[in-house]
């Protein structure tokens, strides 16, 4: 990692001004600090926590190192180790932590039912604006142990200012139900679903409907509606339907204690920050910026706080495990997600995520075995079987992948759910791999019919036609629409370039293919296409360079053989 000399000197000056009785070794502190920064930049949260802790122990008077050591202990889930650092941060005149130290101190006190200490954590604390709603929720729950749910509701109303209040309805619903105010609870639960509609809100409202309606007709109607929606909200809905079908008792209220209520507040904050970060990254990419590696440390930290207060909170556990998987911390993700029990509505989803982690660790056979077992265990396990077929396809076992998807698609109703296009697209990919183009084409057409605004489906059919030299006008229309929907996808830009190439429009194609190669520099197919268009334009030295690059990018056997032949004979049999 490069670091400017003046920053290194500034760090050394801070270390020497710590006022320690025994001066730390400068080389050791700087080394730990730089190791910590490198670990943080590569999203190795555990290593960053360890290295910052070492640097902080060697330079205990450096505020920035203290802040970093505290934050990464929190993000790593080491809340007990973060707590004494939070005490020291809270004592600083300018902690510069947005009030996060106070939240950790409050969470620690709540976990140990020391509610007076928890209230004291926020007495003189100014927190950042985005944390104010969560602080108000914490204060409300801290009123409950002495004054009951009514006092907590009153606190929530009194402290509500002009800030974002989207996190409040679910908390109002919990507290209203605890207070026996069922109609107010119903209205608040409904508002929480309309505000966010995530899995926690869906599970909470559905559970409420099960508890207040002996026949559970309203709960069933709600679950059936939500079970057909895309995204994670359908997971608790399907679990609710299975519970009703089995005649099992309704679930208890999701938050009946300060620890549970505040855990939900931390989870909501984590999820809100995560969604905002993802949206900002997508907007930046759409504008053409290079956004670099994802950084979800703040939502990870709040998910860890939620788990600290409520270790049985599977929604928070899944969120934290998913972020660790995105970071490539696959072993830690597996350890986190494996704690979710088979009785959890998140169990199927976590099997998929664990399988992805195993596959990333080159343990593909274990991943396949896990998904096969999960598919046998659950009825209607479409998501699990789609993931299983994808793993088999990645291993080259396309016939087995097709068999799995044949069975899944045969079970679909006449009017399948909105995301069924993924099933058709996945089967088409494997059908093409085994040279069954007629069935593959039919599946691609079906995917586009089901999802006419999905860039991936449009591009796949358009590119497939362009690759075969068929229906080129329609292929162009599909690909151009896909480009409008996803203008920064290297794969889609490549398709546009390749369609022009197939028409012989090489001067037009080269610009698109160069842009695609800049967006997807590690894609062997895109690189191969760029080499081909260079050849057609007479730029044979550049063509050879691109083809040789393909061989360095681990192409499949068919592409490798094709490129090796082109390096010998070119595209017209004349050699380079």
| pLDDT band at residue 22 using 50, 70 and 90 as cut-offs | very low
Spans of all domains in the chain: 5-142, 166-256
The Cβ of residue 300 has, within 10 Å, a number of other Cβ atoms equal to 26
What angle in degrees, to the nearest 10, is found between the helix axes of 382-394 and 421-433?
Answer: 20
Q: What is the 3-state secondary structure (H, E, C) of 155-181?
A: HHHHHCCCCCCCCHHHHHHHHHHHCCC
First vs last C-alpha separation in the chain: 40
| pLDDT band at residue 576 using 50, 70 and 90 as cut-offs | low
What angle in degrees, to the nearest 10, is found between the helix axes of 79-91 and 45-58?
Answer: 50
pLDDT value at residue 313: 95
Range from 88-92, 113-117, 287-291, 379-383 carrying the lowest mean pLDDT: 287-291
| pLDDT band at residue 102 using 50, 70 and 90 as cut-offs | very high
What angle in degrees, to the nearest 10, is found between the helix axes of 490-502 and 472-485?
Answer: 160
| pLDDT band at residue 61 using 50, 70 and 90 as cut-offs | confident
pLDDT value at residue 26: 47
Tell me the per-residue pLDDT of 396-422, one tens digit each, with 9 for 90 and over: 999 999 999 999 999 888 788 778 899
pLDDT value at residue 23: 39
pLDDT value at residue 53: 87
Dig out the tokens for 278 from the structure.
């993802």
Instruction: Judge contact between 422 and 386, C-beta under 8 A.
Output: yes
Instruction: Judge contact between 202 and 193, C-beta under 8 A.
Output: yes
pLDDT value at residue 573: 63
Nearest Cα to Cα of residue 368 among 340, 344, 394, 402 = 394
Mean pLDDT of 503-512: 94
pLDDT value at residue 130: 87
| pLDDT band at residue 27 using 50, 70 and 90 as cut-offs | low
Tell me the per-residue pLDDT of 105-135, one tens digit each, with 9 for 90 and over: 999 999 999 999 999 988 766 788 888 899 9
| pLDDT band at residue 231 using 50, 70 and 90 as cut-offs | confident
Tell me the per-residue pLDDT of 202-214, one tens digit each, with 9 for 90 and over: 999 999 999 998 7
Q: How big is the CA angle at 175 (ends 173 and 180), to the nearest 5 degrees?
A: 95
Dig out the tokens for 89 from the structure.
């941060």
Tell me the per-residue pLDDT of 441-473, one tens digit each, with 9 for 90 and over: 999 999 999 999 999 999 999 999 988 989 989
pLDDT value at residue 168: 92
pLDDT value at residue 10: 33
Q: 11 pLDDT exceeds 70? A: no
Instruction: Judge contact between 325 and 335, C-beta under 8 A.
Output: no
Name the more confident of 190 and 9: 190
- Looking at the domain 5-142, which fold is it? 1.25.40
Instruction: Judge contact between 374 and 351, C-beta under 8 A.
Output: yes
Dig out the tokens for 294 from the structure.
């994802």
- Region of 362 (left: φ > 0; alpha: ψ -120 to 50; beta: rest) is left
Instruction: Judge contact between 60 and 32, C-beta under 8 A.
Output: no
Tell me the per-residue pLDDT of 519-546, one tens digit each, with 9 for 90 and over: 899 999 999 999 999 999 999 999 999 9
Range from 60-74, 218-232, 282-296, 335-349 carrying the lowest mean pLDDT: 282-296
| pLDDT band at residue 1 using 50, 70 and 90 as cut-offs | very low
| pLDDT band at residue 291 using 50, 70 and 90 as cut-offs | low
Tell me the per-residue pLDDT of 479-500, one tens digit each, with 9 for 90 and over: 999 999 998 889 999 999 999 9
Which residue, chain included where needed, has tokens 């062997």?
524
pLDDT value at residue 285: 67
| pLDDT band at residue 6 using 50, 70 and 90 as cut-offs | very low
Highest mean pLDDT among 10-24, 70-84, 211-225: 70-84
């Amino acid at each position: 990692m490069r670091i400017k000399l003046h920053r290194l000197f500034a760090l050394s000056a801070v270390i020497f001004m710590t006022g320690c009785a025994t001066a730390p070794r400068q080389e050791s502190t700087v080394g730990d600090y730089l190791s910590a920064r490198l670990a943080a930049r590569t999203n190795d949260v555990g290593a960053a926590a360890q290295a910052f802790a070492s640097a902080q122990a060697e330079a205990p008077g450096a505020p920035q190192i203290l802040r970093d050591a505290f934050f990464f202990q929190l993000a790593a889930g080491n809340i007990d180790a973060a707590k004494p650092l939070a005490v020291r941060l809270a004592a600083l005149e300018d902690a510069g932590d947005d009030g996060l130290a106070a939240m950790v101190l409050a969470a620690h006190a709540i976990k140990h039912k020391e509610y007076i200490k928890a209230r004291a954590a926020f007495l003189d604390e100014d927190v950042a604006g985005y944390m104010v709603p969560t602080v108000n929720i914490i204060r409300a729950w801290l009123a409950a142990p002495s004054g009951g749910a009514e006092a907590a509701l009153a606190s929530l109303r009194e402290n509500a200012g002009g800030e974002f209040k989207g996190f409040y309805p679910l908390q109002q619903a919990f507290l209203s139900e605890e207070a026996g105010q069922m109609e107010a609870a119903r209205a608040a639960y409904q508002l929480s679903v309309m505000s966010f509609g995530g899995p926690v809100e869906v599970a909470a409202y559905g559970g409420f409907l099960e508890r207040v309606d002996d026949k559970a007709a309203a709960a069933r109607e709600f679950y059936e509606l939500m079970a057909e929606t895309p995204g994670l909200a359908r997971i608790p809905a399907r679990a609710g339907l299975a519970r009703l079908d089995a005649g099992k008792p309704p679930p208890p209220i999701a938050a009946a204690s300060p620890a549970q209520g505040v855990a939900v507040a931390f989870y909501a904050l984590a999820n809100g920050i995560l969604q905002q970060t993802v949206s900002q990254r997508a907007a930046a990419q759409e504008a053409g910026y290079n956004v670099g590696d994802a950084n979800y440390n703040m939502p990870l930290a709040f998910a860890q706080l939620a788990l600290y207060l409520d270790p049985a909170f599977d929604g928070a556990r899944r969120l934290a495990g998913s972020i660790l998987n995105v970071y490539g911390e696959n072993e830690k993700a597996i350890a986190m997600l494996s704690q979710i029990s088979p009785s959890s509505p998140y169990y199927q989803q976590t099997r998929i995520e664990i399988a992805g982690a195993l596959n990333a660790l080159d343990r593909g056979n274990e991943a396949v075995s896990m998904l096969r077992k999960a598919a046998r265990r659950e009825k209607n396990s479409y998501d699990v079987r789609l993931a299983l077929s994808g793993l088999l396809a990645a291993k080259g076992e396309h016939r087995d992948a097709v068999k799995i998807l044949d069975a899944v698609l045969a079970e679909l109703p006449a009017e399948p759910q909105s995301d069924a296009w993924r099933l058709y697209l996945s089967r088409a990919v494997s059908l093409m791999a085994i040279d069954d183009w007629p069935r593959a084409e039919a599946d691609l057409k079906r995917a586009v019919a089901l999802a006419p605004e999905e860039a991936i489906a449009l591009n796949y059919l358009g590119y497939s036609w362009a690759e075969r030299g068929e229906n080129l006008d329609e292929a162009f229309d599909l690909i151009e629409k896909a480009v409008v929907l996803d203008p920064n996808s290297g794969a889609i830009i490549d398709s546009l370039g390749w369609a022009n190439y197939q028409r012989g429009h090489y001067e037009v194609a080269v610009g698109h293919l160069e842009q695609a190669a800049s967006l997807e520099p590690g894609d062997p197919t895109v690189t191969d296409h760029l080499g081909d268009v260079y050849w057609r334009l007479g730029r044979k030295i550049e063509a050879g360079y691109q083809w040789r690059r393909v061989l360095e990018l681990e192409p499949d056997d068919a592409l490798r053989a094709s490129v090796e032949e082109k390096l010998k004979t070119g595209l017209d049999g004349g050699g380079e």
